[in-house]
């Protein structure tokens, strides 16, 4: 899909509006987008999920709380819960999600809880799977429950398999991503390859934390972006404050792809802060290499826990409400896309 197809420009859009949007991005977030604000970036993703913005929150293990998912959904994105905690924990979270909100559920295939999948399919609009070969049986069970099905993939071959399995949506994950990483190549190259081979709505994941990165992914062929690291610093997220502080201090070069935090999930590459690996190694035999996300309830040396972070971590500059994060990224993306439109028109396109 080209940019002309996904960009819906307001009637008054011109260079002055683009500059105004850019200025709003630069100053501190204040006023909300507002319920009556028109959508300016419309894609197959927004049409399929009924979202105002082509943005998905990553399903971040123990940090994907209902508070965060609901806040993202109310701000116009697709909020996500995690099914990794099992059926009972997921049911409790789903009970707190207001009806009609775009909140989906993410599942890790190696730790799949079938009753939880059935509950999610019956009570949420979207169910997504990660870290396993696309399974037509799982996809069919989601459809039987009444939900849309998606699969997060790390290669063009997996994307094709997900389409063949009957998925409604594909998430393409680049190697820049934080947390567990299925991708082995850069996001832009992967998006371009997948876009050439698969016609389903496509979400770009990995290293996206700004509106400029969002705009680049959309121009490259994605229909939405998936954001994780920025939302760890959301006030609605349950991440430990020391974890968030470490993210705020870090840049892209402070992350590393490793298998260090592999207790119970070996040989599964994940991107964390380099400092977390170093701190763990310094503890010697006292170190626990658990892959659990450090939450507000986590005890012990937080600096030596699995401090997952994508290469977009440099965009984490402070704690913000989820709605402010969504607004900042979307407004910047709109400004960039508006400038892209003018640039193309100026060249006679």
What is 80-109 written as a DSSP string?
EEE-TT-HHHHHHHHHTSPTT--EEEEEEG
Number of H helices, E strands in the chain: 14, 11
Q: pLDDT by residue for the chain (349 residues), tens digit each? A: 443 344 443 333 333 443 343 344 333 322 333 344 555 789 999 999 999 999 999 999 889 999 999 999 999 999 999 999 999 999 999 999 999 999 999 999 999 999 999 999 999 999 999 999 999 999 999 999 999 999 999 999 999 999 999 999 999 999 999 999 998 999 999 999 999 999 999 999 999 999 999 999 999 999 999 999 999 999 999 999 999 999 999 999 999 999 999 999 999 999 999 999 999 999 999 999 999 999 999 999 999 999 999 999 999 999 999 999 999 999 999 999 988 876 556 544 5
Q: Which domains does the chain have, with CATH numbers?
A: 3-237+318-346 (3.20.20.70), 241-313 (no CATH)
pLDDT of residue 327: 96
DSSP E strand stretches across the chain: 55-57, 79-82, 103-108, 126-130, 148-153, 169-173, 179-180, 202-205, 224-227, 255-258, 270-273
Q: Is the pTM of this model over 0.95?
A: no
């Amino acid at each position: 899909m080209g940019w002309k197809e996904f960009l819906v420009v307001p009637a008054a859009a011109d260079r002055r509006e683009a500059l105004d949007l850019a200025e709003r991005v630069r100053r501190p977030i204040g006023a909300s987008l507002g319920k009556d604000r028109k959508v300016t970036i419309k894609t197959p993703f927004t049409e399929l999920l009924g979202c105002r913005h082509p943005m998905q929150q990553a399903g971040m293990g123990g940090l994907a709380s209902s508070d965060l998912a609901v806040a993202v959904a109310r701000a116009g994105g697709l909020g996500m819960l995690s099914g990794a905690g099992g059926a009972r924990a997921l049911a409790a979270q789903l009970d707190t999600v207001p009806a009609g909100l775009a909140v989906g559920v993410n599942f890790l295939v190696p730790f799949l809880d079938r009753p939880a999948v059935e509950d999610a399919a019956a009570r949420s609009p979207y169910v997504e799977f990660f870290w396993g070969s696309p399974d037509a049986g799982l996809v069919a069970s989601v459809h039987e429950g009444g939900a849309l099905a998606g699969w997060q993939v790390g290669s063009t071959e997996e994307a094709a398999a997900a389409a063949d399995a009957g998925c409604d949506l594909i998430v393409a994950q680049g190697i820049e991503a934080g947390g567990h990483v299925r991708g082995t190549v850069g996001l832009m190259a992967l998006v371009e390859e997948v876009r050439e081979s698969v016609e389903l709505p496509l979400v770009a994941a990995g290293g996206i934390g700004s509106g400029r990165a969002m705009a680049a992914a959309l121009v490259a062929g994605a229909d939405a972006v998936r954001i994780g690291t920025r939302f760890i610093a959301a006030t609605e997220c349950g991440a430990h404050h020391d974890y968030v502080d470490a993210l705020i201090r870090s840049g892209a070069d402070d992350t590393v792809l490793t298998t260090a935090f592999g207790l119970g999930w070996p040989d599964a590459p994940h991107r964390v802060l380099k400092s977390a690996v170093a701190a763990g190694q310094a503890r010697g035999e006292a170190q626990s290499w658990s892959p659990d996300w450090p939450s507000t309830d986590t005890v012990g040396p937080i600096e030596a826990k699995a401090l997952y972070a994508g290469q977009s971590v440099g965009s984490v500059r402070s704690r913000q409400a989820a709605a402010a994060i969504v607004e900042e990224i979307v407004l910047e993306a709109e400004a960039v896309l508006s400038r892209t439109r003018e640039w193309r028109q100026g060249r006679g396109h």
